[in-house]
Structure 1
Amino acid sequence: MSRMCCLSMLLIMIAGQARFGRAADDAGATVGSQPAIDFDTQIVPVLTRFGCNAGACHGAAIGRGGFSLSLFGSRPADDHIAIAQELEGRRVNLHTPSQSVLLRKATESIEHGGGERFDDSSPAYAMLKQWVAQGGKRLQLRRLTELHVTPSNALLQDVGDSVTVVVIARFDDGSQQDVTSMTSLSCDDPESVSIDRASNRLTVHRRGEHLVIARYLNRVHAIGLGVPLGSNEIDSVTESADGNEGTLVDRFIDQKLQQLRLPASPQADDHEFARRVWLDLTGHLPPVAQLDAFVADRSKDKRGRLIDRLLETDQFAAYWALKWANLLGIDSKSLQREGSKAYHEWLVESFGQDRPWNESALAMLTASGDGYVDGSVNFLRSGNGPDALAELATRVMMGVRLRCANCHDHPLDRWTQDDYHGLAAIFAKLDRGRFVQTSQRGEVTHPLTGQPATARIPGTRDLVSGEDGRVAFARWVTDPSNEYFARAAVNRIWAQLMGRGLIDPVDDIRATNPASHPELLDALARQFAENRFRFRAVIRLICNSQAYGRTSQTTPENVADSVYYSHFISRGLEAEVVADLIGDVTGVDIQYGTEESRDAIRLTDNRIMSETLDVLGRCDREAACESPPLGSGSLSQVLHFLNGDLLNRRLDASQGNLTRWLQSETDDFKLIETLYKHTLSRPPTESERVFWSRQVESATEAASTTEAGSRWRDAESRRAFFADVFWGLLTSETFRTNH
């Protein structure tokens, strides 16, 4: 070897010793007299605490300014490489730590697009400087095992009150540490809650309930803060039913209303309740004769008996199959008409038999065969590729938005990219044509590694070689111990009946989106499991509650409440339901495709040509429809609904109900009552009677002095008047909503 080569080697060795000479032994806990700084559990949290690895900064998918970090430090090994090794290590200066680009950018002693993150007198600066001085290594000294955040919930007495947050981390080496200063605290609405990082105090500035998210490493916790909405204590808001205590539902709803000092609206009268429960359970209005009989019934248990009877009808099975067809995205575009028909009819049969949901879910996930024959097979034919099927499966059966873990680990939940692409890898091994069967081929590429993803049950484990992934996932997701399955199902049922999920949105179950009534959600999930995952038991329980039975009319004290069920929440009806109501009430059927298709709720082809359903805003099942819209769609749709043939042709029909009622009912005020009962399922109120009395009076001629009362100019003027009344009721929001 030449002298020059020897000299070069010597210089390299000297440089290496200078660069890492202050570093501790990898297994050590101290460096000289200073405690060793652990990159994973101390440096990464500092980067998160000051927003360096947030999505708006270097945690973005493409990074910022040529510097890329994993989102919220989810991949510390990659972050260490980016900080300590990229650009030949120029981001850290081991010889003069204070000159490290990492520190100079953060303190903005050199230009930094993100501004100053902290100053050179801060504990964060001292820790980073000490870590660089120790050699900038990734020692992996410990691993986080538990995180305790205090308080988890706090009900304060008044606006302006505050609490102090304390965060304690426990590690696998047996140590624990107060990591409050390294924990990120954030609130979506800073005007509601202010965060003083010097004291770690949270101060509430608005009444109601608010969330602060605490994040340390991969753990996120929701801190619930509340201030009563009302200023006065209230008594129990649930009325005792015939001397008995309220249902399981009402105990928890009542408790929350009392805590927030929020008074409840009174119970709905029989007309309001009958219309509500008929629409909720059958998608139809109560026939007037049955409505009158129900109102006249003086039995104390009549509401419960009505609920039981409606749950046993064919209409219940058909309507709830429609709800879940929208949720599952049963689309004849991808499944073809035959597959869509088989799938829809399988759903109707499932609701008709009250088939346990865990059995249905197992069948949907593990089925094989002809999708035109076996309806359950079509779940696996849904979705545009294995990744979309993975998203559908977790959204429907777990209430989880796994798609948020596609490009990076989920920022607000436990799910990782490995979970997302691992589940997609399970579904990749499927032939998903008309005939569904397992294939030996098929893979998805993990975007981080560029390699085939390893099949994986989300948040749990990788599959072993030869294991049937669909069966393994299906058994895991439907297992009674799975914390998501039952809660997702009852949360959806609750939302479909009560207008809002206990967790809202219903497909976003996570620790940082807690339930408005967590104890109630857990109790309903237990009831669901105890009743073998059957829907009717939960529906019956909810519909029999005082909370469900409240009027939708608000009081001055609860008018702003849209979360705590102090009154019934009005909601829109599906386009198919509104179409059927129009056909039923006017007595003129709406045809769909063929003369046999007159019931929109029972249609199995969601893409059948129908201007009516388009005008009413039917669900586009290429996107999930968790709930129907309150309005009728775009401005053009609304105008068509108000002025088009859908209503006008039916009001003018010679064989329609209006023609028949005009001929059979000569008393104008009884005719108005007939129109009200058929559309709004109630007689007009006293103020409405006064209003219509004046309208009739102004529309008629004065009778001669020898006659009492008044008379219409002719039959056509009477028809035109009542056609306008009928039209006004049919186009009202009251008619097109359940309330």
Structure 2
Amino acid sequence: MPRLAAVLAVLALAGTARADLTARIDALIEAKAAADAVPLSPPADDGEFLRRVTLDLAGTLPSAAEAKAFLADIDAKKREKRIAALLAAPSYAERMTDLFHVALMERLGDSPEWTAYLRKSFAANAPWDTMARDMLRADHKNPDTLGAAFFLSKRLENYGQNPVDHSALTRDVGRLFLGKNFQCCECHDHLVVADYKQQDFQGLHAFFRNLSLVSAAKLHVGEKVTAEKLGFASVFTKVPMTTAPALPGGTMLAIPTFPKGQEFAEPPDRKTNSPGVPKFSTLAAAAELIPRAGNRDFARNIVNRVWFAFMGRGLVHPLDLHHSANPGSHPELLDLLATEFAAKRFDLKWLIGELARTKAYQRSSRLPASAERADPWYFGTAVEKRLTADQLLSATLKATEADAKAADALRAKFHKAFDNQPRDPEDEYAPSLKAALFVLHDAAVLKLVEPAPGNLVSRLAALPDAAVADELYLAVLTRRPSADEARTVCEVLAKHAAARPAALGRLAWALLASLEFGVNH
């Protein structure tokens, strides 16, 4: 009975109109844990929270001085103030640019116009539906949104004699904007997921099959006239079928007919190599139909992906397998987030702020005393999240207090060592021999832990042995060392007193190469 009473109490809070979203999120998380007798980890200590929230909202580490000041601050509202300050800082737009570039482009390529578009949009807190519409519309004539066209233009490139992979483009739109992977439905209904039909793929494909890349340099996406339905047949039944453009589970668009020669709002121009603009644009239709408040798949997909980015696992996981047989860990919470996010006009900064303030986000990554292992299904213990290559680089430079010029020399190397292969989502921690060898042997990385004016090792060299461990751990791991760790540092320094700067460098390198440094926990 006591457990039932606790569940009913938190569920009552979850349904109270007066409760803010943060409290309702925590109520639903705690209700599920209580119902299944899953113990919750305690709140993260101040060092763990500060490291996590700074990496998540600024893409880097706090300095040792910032860490010491935060740990010493006795203000009960210091976490709330830190979240607000990070959301308001210019580094927020830089971090979101990195986060969404990795999520949306999946290492397919880079574009300065795309980066500039993302950075400007996040700095202005542009609504997510507006950003998605810009990406899907790909208007090369609008200088304010030109960079957004990179999402489509890069996927319309062809390599050698290979044709443009319109099927992969269709799949990516379904995965990244609707949370549904229809890859296996191009030729037949999905063999495992009953909800996914061949019609879903082909209806979505009908929006994008007539696109072409006019100019990669100008991010110019062209569109041929769509005058008739798309024909297809299952490889199993061989029954001929047709479809007009249609969202999964939605009705088909009516394809208008025009007299010959009057199909274009802007006719093709051979002199400029312009393919023209059709009066009936399936691209424009997709840009209006997909990113809208009434499209439940669109809202559920993005809040699930943002939840994953900050909590380490999606409410629905894998992120692109939303269907009735995979409702996720907390279906009520997913629906709540989708509803509230749409009501807030797709305000990403608001959503991120709400998540960062939850007890679920601020929970420790250490197991509760009564648990032998953590089950990420419940979000009762903070899930360790991999850092992107840019986060790792920025954190490494911040920890070592390196010269800013080092970033230019190391950026390409970090991406080569830590990036996944194209179209391989970076949603799991994936240690590799390539990355280990890079950290172990790369001369530019090793140079960061050599004494130089103003860097970490040089600053540590000026401290007495007893003070080194505290400063080193705060700078690299945003926490103070345990007694055993502090003792080990002193023993290493005493043993290598004749080569103290080199020993300090090896100690700093050991922390930088650790699993603790490589994940956001």
TM-score category of the 2 structures, normalised to the smaller one? 0.7 to 0.9
Query: Is the 8 Å Cα contact of residues 382 and 389 (structure 1) preserved in structure 2?
Result: no
CA spacing shift, 1:312–1:354, aligned 2, 3 Å: same
Per-residue Cα deviation, 1:211-231 (whole angstroms, up to 9, x for no partner): xxxxxxxxxxxxxxxxxxxxx
1:309 Cα deviation after fit = 1.0
1:585 aligns with 2:399: yes
Structure-to-structure mapping, 1:182-193, within 5 angstroms:
none
Answer yes or no: is the 8 Å Cα contact 2:493–2:500 preserved in 1. no
Given that 1:576 and 1:618 are in contact with CA atoms closer than 8 Å, whether structure 2 keeps it comes out as: no
1:611 paired with 2:413, answer yes
Q: State how far apart, in whole Å, the 2-side matches of 1:353 and 1:679 are.
A: 32
Q: Given the alignment of the two structures, is residue 439 of structure 1 paired with residue 215 of structure 2, yes or no?
A: no
Q: Which amino acid aligns with 1:691?
A: T
Shift of 1:235: 6.3
- What is the CA–CA distance in structure 2 between the aligned matches of 1:405 and 1:256, rounded to whole Å? 34
1:369 and 2:140 are equivalent in the alignment: yes
Q: Which residue of structure 2 lines up, in the alignment, with residue 209 of structure 1?
A: none
- The alpha carbon displacement at 1:430 in A equals 2.3
- Check whether the contact 1:269–1:551 (CA below 8 A) recurs between aligned residues: yes
Report the secondary structure of 1:484's partner residue.
helix
Separation of aligned partners in 2, 1:289 and 1:587: 12
Q: Contact 2:136–2:283 (CA<8 Å) still a contact in 1? A: yes
Change (3 A) 1:691 1:233: farther
Is the contact made by 1:494 and 1:501 (CA closer than 8 Å) also made in structure 2? Answer: yes
Distance 1:639 1:364, change over 3 A: closer
Give the match for residue 513 of structure 1. 326
Structure 1 partner of 2:201: 420
Most deviating of 575-584 and 281-290: 575-584
Q: Which has the higher strand share?
A: 1
CA distance in 2 between partners of 1:450 and 1:517 (Å) = 39
Deviations 1:698-732 (A, max 9, x none): x16xxxxxxxxxxx3x3xx2123222211211111
Partner of 2:284: 471
Contact 1:369-1:437 within 8 A present in 2 as well: no
TM-score, normalising length from structure 2? 0.82
Counterpart residue number, 1:668: 465
CA 1:413 to 1:589, structure 2 compared with 1: closer, same or farther past 3 Å? Answer: farther
Tell me how far apart the structure 2 counterparts of residues 452 and 426 of structure 1 sit (CA, whole Å).
17
For the residues of structure 2 that align with 1:689 and 1:330, how far apart are their CA atoms? 41
- Aligned to 1:446, the other structure's residue is in SS state strand
What is the CA–CA distance in structure 1 between the aligned matches of 2:509 and 2:5, rounded to whole Å?
43
Tell me the secondary structure at the aligned position of residue 70 of structure 2: helix
Amino acid in structure 2 at the alignment position of 1:423: L
Superposed CA deviations along residues 385-416 of structure 1, whole A, max 9, x for unmatched, are 32222111111111111222112112414332
Cα deviations by residue, 1:431-475 (Å, 9 ceiling, x for unpaired): 323222332269966254697953321321222122532333333
* Separation of aligned partners in 1, 2:436 and 2:46: 31
Match of 2:306 in 1: 493
Asked whether the equivalents of residues 493 and 504 of structure 2 are also in contact (C-alpha less than 8 Å), the reply is no
Residue 286 of structure 1 aligns to a residue in which SS? coil
> C-alpha separation between the residues in 1 aligned to 2:314 and 2:327?
11
Aligned partner of 2:211 among 430, 433, 436? 430
Instruction: Please give the per-residue CA displacement for 1:623-667, whole angstroms capped at 9, x wherever unaligned.
Output: 14242x42442x2431332233243222225346244214432x1
Per-residue deviation at 1:247?
1.1
Q: Distance in 2 between matches of 1:416 and 1:390?
A: 14
Classify the secondary structure of the residue corresponding to 1:436. strand
1:404 matches 2:203 = no
1:640 partner amino acid: F
Distance, in Å, in 2 between the alignment partners of 1:695 and 1:233 is 54
When structure 1 is superposed on structure 2, of 296-305 and 543-552 the one drifting more is 296-305
Q: Deviations over 1:47-97 (max 9, x none)?
A: xxxxxxxxxxxxxxxxxxxxxxxxxxxxxxxxxxxxxxxxxxxxxxxxxxx
Residues 487 and 598 of structure 1: CA distance in aligned 2, closer, same or farther (over 3 Å):
farther
> Structure 2 counterpart of 1:428, which letter?
R
For residues 196-216 of structure 1, give each alpha carbon's deviation from its aligned partner in whole angstroms, at most 9, with x where no partner exists: xxxxxxxxxxxxxxxxxxxxx
Q: In the alignment, what sits opposite 1:387?
A: 167
- 1:651 aligned residue (423, 440, 449): 449
Q: Distance in 2 between matches of 1:258 and 1:684?
A: 34
Counterpart CA distance in 1 for 2:479 and 2:73 is: 16
Q: How many residues align?
A: 469
Structure-2 residue corresponding to 1:310: 86
Counterpart AA for 1:362: R
How far apart in 1 are the matches of 2:286 and 2:146?
A: 21
Give the alignment partner of residue 436 of structure 2, picking from 616, 638, 641. Answer: 638
Instruction: Say whether 1:454 aligns with 2:243.
Output: yes
d(CA) in 2 for partners of 1:341 and 1:636? 28
Amino acid of the residue matched to residue 648 of structure 1? L
> 2 CA distance for matches of 1:650 and 1:598?
12
User: Aligned AA for 1:430?
Assistant: L
The residue that corresponds to 2:515 in the other structure is 733
Alignment of 1:481-630 (within 5 A): 481-558=294-371, 559-589=373-403, 597=408, 600=411, 610-615=412-417, 617-620=418-421, 622-627=422-427, 629-630=428-429
CA pair 575-400 structure 1, distance change in 2 beyond 3 A:
same
Distance in 1 (CA, whole Å) between partners of 2:133 and 2:460 is 55
Distance 1:599-1:496 versus aligned 2 partners, 3 A rule: farther
Q: Which runs of 5+ in 2 are unaligned?
A: 14-18, 156-163, 257-279
* Contact in 2 for aligned 1:494/1:500 (Cα 8 Å): yes
Give the SS at the match of 1:437: strand
Assess, with a 3 A threshold, how the Cα gap between structure 1 residues 531 and 675 changes in structure 2: closer, same or farther.
same
Q: Is the 8 A contact 1:729 1:735 kept in 2?
A: yes
Matched to 1:522, the amino acid is: D
TM-score, normalised by the number of residues in structure 1: 0.59
1:348 matches 2:146 = no
* CA 1:547–1:483: 2 relative to 1, 3 Å: same
- 2:262 alignment partner in structure 1: none
- Distance, in Å, in 2 between the alignment partners of 1:365 and 1:612 is 30
In the aligned structure 2, how far is the partner of 1:652 from the partner of 1:269? 31
Change (3 A) 1:509 1:250: same
User: More helix per residue: 1 or 2?
Assistant: 2
Cα distance, 1:599 vs structure 2? 8.5
Give the conservation status (yes or no) of the 8 Å contact 2:465–2:490.
no
Decide which of 459, 472, 477 is 1:680's aligned counterpart. Answer: 477
Deviations 1:583-642 (A, max 9, x none): 2222335868xx9x4684xxxxxxxxx333322x2133x314242x42442x24313322
2:44 is the alignment partner of 1:268? yes
Q: State the structure with more CA Rg.
A: 1
Letter in 1 for 2:27: R
Matched residue, 1:185: none
Tell me which residue corresponds to 2:263.
Answer: none
1:612/1:646 contact within 8 Å kept: no
SS of equivalent to 2:449: helix
The 1:598/1:308 distance shift into structure 2, 3 A limit, reads: farther
Counterpart mapping for 1:168-183 below 5 A: none
1: CA distance, partners of 2:135 / 2:396: 35
Distance 1:418 1:518, change over 3 A: closer
User: 1:234, CA displacement in angstroms?
Assistant: 10
- Residues 225-247 of structure 1: CA deviation (Å, up to 9, x unaligned): xxxxxxx9996899x9xxx9971
Q: Distance in 2 between matches of 1:644 and 1:425?
A: 48
Structure 2 counterparts to residues 88-107 of structure 1, below 5 A: none
CA RMSD of aligned residues (A): 3.1
* SS at structure 1 position matched to 2:221: strand
